[in-house]
Chains A and B, each alone.
Chain A
């Protein structure tokens, strides 16, 4: 966790701050290596900014992390008007077994957070929707906290909504009190 805190502090010191008028705003891309145990925490904070995740051996990992943190400290982004770094975090190949912490790193947290908000909006609206004949038993699409479309066929609905609003995290919920359980009994499903 100590290294994650160092990285966080380096990232937070990157903006130009008081010298914003002197230097135009610059996009900062940070290249870092993070110990596996800190990946979950790091991905949670900077998930949307992670471009590439790369797995490295533990002994190499520690050395490079320290070097790169030192490099960041030695060259604060504010002194270079056009500094670009590329993020590197532990990467997991398709099918490679991952631990719980590592798994969190490969989930796009920003998408999930947006989608969770839409899901919560649906939960709040559900009681009202159940009382409306137009919606009852049908699927609704929630985007920006609002019901944007509905259909008895969720595939048709998804097609229409993604076409109209773009491919974003949009929540598709069925207006019903019934709880349907899907079975995937293969042990390897996980």
Chain B
């Protein structure tokens, strides 16, 4: 029996939300949060407030194009991400004023993802 996760129906429309943990580089203190799987995002995004609490230091600078076509320059932050049995060290992410993390293709492309929207299930598998 495959382990599948239910869509979070508190989102409208329901969304694939994964339990995720993040930490700053070399830290063993992981912060749990919800991560919305977003295959349209090139890069993952963490909440501004969490970035501040974790005292993350800016690393790279990238040019970001938002949904409205607006282009802005933003710093990115290197973090460690734990998702299911997967661990990603030194993933650089953006931050914005939001509640949960956006899990972009920089993370998604490392595993096999099944989205069963009709039955409101999703599955993250090792390829």
A-to-B contact residues, CB < 8 Å: 92-98, 103, 106-108, 111-112, 115, 119, 154-156, 158-159, 162-163, 167-173, 179-190
Contacts and interface: CB of A to CB of B under 8 A. Distances in A.
Contact of B49 (A92, A184, A186): A92
A106 B52 contact: yes
B3 interface: no
A162 B25 contact: yes
B30 interface: no
B49 A182 contact: no
Contact of A172 (B52, B60, B67): B60
Contact of B61 (A119, A155, A188): A119
Nearest to A157: B90
A182 B42 contact: yes
A145 B57 CA distance: 16
A150 B55 CA distance: 25
B112 interface: no
Contacts of A184: 40-43, 45, 64-67, 94, 102, 104
A152 to B, nearest CB: 14
B89 A186 contact: no
A107 B98 CA distance: 15
Interface residues of B, number: 43
Contacts of B67: 184-187, 189
A148 to B, nearest CB: 13
Contact of A108 (B43, B55, B98): B55
A173 B42 CA distance: 18
B97 A115 contact: no
Nearest to A93: B49
A107 B66 contact: no
Given A94-B99, A184-B102, A190-B98, A107 B65 contact: no
Nearest to B44: A184
A126 B59 CA distance: 17
Given A154-B92, A162-B78, A181-B63, A115 B58 contact: yes
Nearest to A156: B90
Contacts of A92: 49
Contact of B24 (A119, A167, A180): A167
